[in-house]
Amino acid sequence: MMDTQWPRWEVFKQDAPGKPHQAVGSVHATDPQHALVTARTVFVRRPSAVSLWVVPARVILARTAEELVTEGELPATEPEAAAPQRYLVFRKTNHRRSMTFVDYALTLEAASPEAALRRAREHFAHSPTLVWWIVPEAAITRSDESPETVESWFAPARDKTYRQQSSYGVVGSHISKHKQRPQGAERD
């Protein structure tokens, strides 16, 4: 069928300062700001983020280790005189846990995404990579890094303790408490 849906944006979330941005999923949106706001709603309903990036999915060069083996080297499509651009390299490096993401690893300059991938593979030649994503830096829209914005975007979830499973931590262990109907307790 004809694809008339809004463009897809990959979402990268940073859980805490100093941790890498990780690919967490995607949203469909009309423009970068719409994508960021939707990403915040979908991926930051709980307090573990300080920054979000969104990137149009179509500009990402993604290759798995298996594709690189079966397809061989990527053709050099860069024009001879192309001015170098900055690219962000993301990698997934192990299978061991379910939560192994494609994580931000490095920024480098190259004439094309393919050239960036080649350079990234040389750079990490001694560290096996299972998934590569090459993202042009110019295509990234980032959440505002000012402390005020970080606070207003990501802090409110911290006060919503009722969203946390720990808020109901006593439920299993003290059933007897619920049988006593303490006087004055809120009934609902």
Residue from 58, 66, 77, 156 that binds other proteins (CB under 8 A)? 66
Residue 30 neighbours by CB distance under 10 Å: 10
Smallest gap from Cβ 44 to other proteins, in A, equals 10
User: Does the protein bind other proteins through residue 115 (CB under 8 A)?
Assistant: no
**Adjacent-strand bridge partners of 55:** 10
Whole-number Å distance between alpha carbons of 119 and 110: 8
Whole-number Å distance between alpha carbons of 140 and 108: 15
Site string for other proteins, 73-102 (x = CB under 8 A): -------------------x--xx-xxxx-
Name the strand (E) or helix (H) holding 144: none
> C-alpha distances in angstroms, 81 versus 26, 28, 113, 119, 127?
34, 35, 15, 18, 32
- b/e sequence 146-160, b meaning 16+ C-beta within 10 Å: eeeebeebbeebeee
User: Does the protein bind other proteins through residue 158 (CB under 8 A)?
Assistant: no
Query: How many helices and strands (H and E) does the chain possess?
Result: 6, 8
Residue from 172, 173, 183, 184 that binds other proteins (CB under 8 A)? 172
**Adjacent-strand bridge partners of 13:** 22, 52
Smallest gap from Cβ 96 to other proteins, in A, equals 8
User: Which CB, 111 or 135, lies closer to other proteins?
Assistant: 135
User: Which CB, 7 or 106, lies closer to other proteins?
Assistant: 7
User: Which CB, 148 or 165, lies closer to other proteins?
Assistant: 165
User: Does the protein bind other proteins through residue 127 (CB under 8 A)?
Assistant: no
Using CB under 8 A as the binding rule, the residues of this chain from 31 to 50 that contact other proteins are 31, 33-34, 41-43, 45-46
Name the strand (E) or helix (H) holding 180: helix 175-180
| Residues at the site binding other proteins, with contacts judged by CB under 8 A | 1, 3-6, 8, 24-31, 33-34, 41-43, 45-46, 62-64, 66-67, 70, 92, 95-96, 98-101, 130-131, 160, 162-165, 167-169, 171-172, 175, 178-181, 186-188
